[in-house]
Amino acid sequence: MKFLCTFAVVKRSAIIIALMLLAEGALADDWDVHRPYGANRPIGLSVSVNVGMLIANKKQAEFYSGSRVVDTSGMHLVTYLERMIHSERFGNQIWNDLVSNQYIDASAIGNYNQLQIVEYGQMHYKLSYQIGLGVRYDWESGWGLLLRFDWSRLTAVGAFNLSSTNGTGILQNTNQYIQCSVGGQEDRINIDFGVAKRMYVSESFAIEVDLGFNLNNLKVKSNAMEIAGRSYDILDIYGSNSPALNSATYEYINQGGVGYGGFAGLAVSYLLPGENSVGTIDLGYNFYYEHLKLEGYSGFAPQHAIFLRFNLSPASFINKN
C-alpha cells in the first residue's frame, strides 16, 4: 500500500513536469517576444532565506491525545492516560489534587481507581511558524533547480473528560465531569528537492511554479496532560509495565522518524532592481503530501505552508566590488 501511494505521487509529479515542458515548448516563440530580458533577471546560483507559517494536518496530532492503547504486562489493554491515572505513582497525587481543588468532596471515601476517562477530545495543531534556508540555480529560460531546508516546531492541543466510575458518586455533582487538557510538541524538518519555473510577466514581477520531492524528519519533544492544575508527562518510558517509582524499563530516546512525499508550490516574485541579477522577494504557498512517521499515526497527509522568501545572488555582490 505504501509503495502504491509513493508510486502515485511520483507519477503525478512526472506528469506535471512533462506538461510544463510541453507548454514551455509550445509557447516559447510567442513568449520570448513579449517577456523582458532585463539585466535584473536572476541567473546562476542564489541562496534563499524564508519565514512563514505551517498549517499541519490534524491526523498526526491525535498521537498526543493519550488514547493510544498499551498492553500492561499482557494482562489487559488500557490507554496511556488510563495507565497514568490508575497507577499508584500518579493516581494518589491526582486524587489529592482533585480533593484540594474541590472537584471531589473531602468526605468522599474512595481512591484513584474510581476515576475514569469518559471522553477523548479531538486534537489539532496550532498555527506554527516555519523558517528555512535554501540554494538554487537558475537559467535564462526561467527554469531552475532548488534545494531547501525548513524547520518548524508544532504544538498539539486538545482535552479529555474525567469522571467517576458508575455509581460511586465521588464528584461534587451528579454526572459531573472534569475537563482536562492534553497536548505536546514536536520538531519537523522538511528537505525539498525539485524544479522551479519562473514566468516573467513584467520587468519587475514573475510567477513561479515549483514541483519536487520531499524528505522529512519528525521528533517528539513533549507530551503531557494537566489535571487540577498539575502537569504530568505521559511520554512512554515504561514499556509494558505500570508506572511506579524506579520502574522505567528504558530511557525515552526518540519517537518519530524519517518520512517522504512530494510538494508543489506557487509564488509571486518581485525582481530586485540592479545590473547584476540581485535576486527576488517571493510571496507564496506550498502544498505538501507527506508520509510522516509517528507511532500509531504514520501515513500520508496533506500539509500547507505560506511563506515570504528572499533569494539573493552572491555573485551580484562580488561583482560590485
**Tens-place pLDDT, residues 196-254:** 999 999 888 999 999 999 999 999 998 999 998 999 888 765 555 555 545 544 445 56
Residue with cell 532592481: 273
Grid cell locating 124: 489539532
256-271 and 230-233 beta bridge pairing: unpaired
Residue with cell 504486562: 73
Question: Could you tell me the pLDDT band of residue 30, with boundaries at 50, 70 and 90?
Answer: very low
Enumerate the β-bridge partners of residue 308.
51, 283
pLDDT at position 88 over 50: yes
**In terms of Cα–Cα distance, which of 42, 37, 24 is closest to 137?**
42
Enumerate the β-bridge partners of residue 155.
185
pTM of the model: 0.80
pLDDT at position 8 over 90: no
Over residues 132-183, the pLDDT tens digits come to 999 999 998 899 999 999 999 999 999 998 887 654 545 655 557 888 999 9
Q: What share of the chain is helix, strand, coil (3-state, %, to 5)?
A: 20, 50, 30
Phi, psi of 102 (to 5 degrees): 65, 25
pLDDT at site 25: 46
Instruction: Judge whether 162 and 97 are in contact, CB under 8 Å.
Output: no
Determine the Cα angle at 283 with ends 279 and 315, to 5°: 10
Domains of the chain: 2-320 (2.40.160.20)
Alpha-carbon gap, residue 207 to 89, rounded angstroms: 59
Instruction: Judge whether 134 and 48 are in contact, CB under 8 Å.
Output: yes
**In terms of Cα–Cα distance, which of 299, 308, 135, 305 is closest to 218?**
299
Among the residues of the chain, which ranges form H helices?
2-34, 80-85, 88-100, 314-320
Is residue 65 within a helix (H) or strand (E), and if so which, with residue range?
none
**In terms of Cα–Cα distance, which of 117, 56, 53 is closest to 91?**
117
Name residues whose C-beta falls within 8 Å of residue 166's C-beta, 6 or more positions apart in sequence: none
> Which region among 23-27, 58-62, 131-135, 230-234 has the lowest average model confidence (pLDDT)?
23-27
Question: Could you tell me the pLDDT band of residue 287, with boundaries at 50, 70 and 90?
Answer: very high
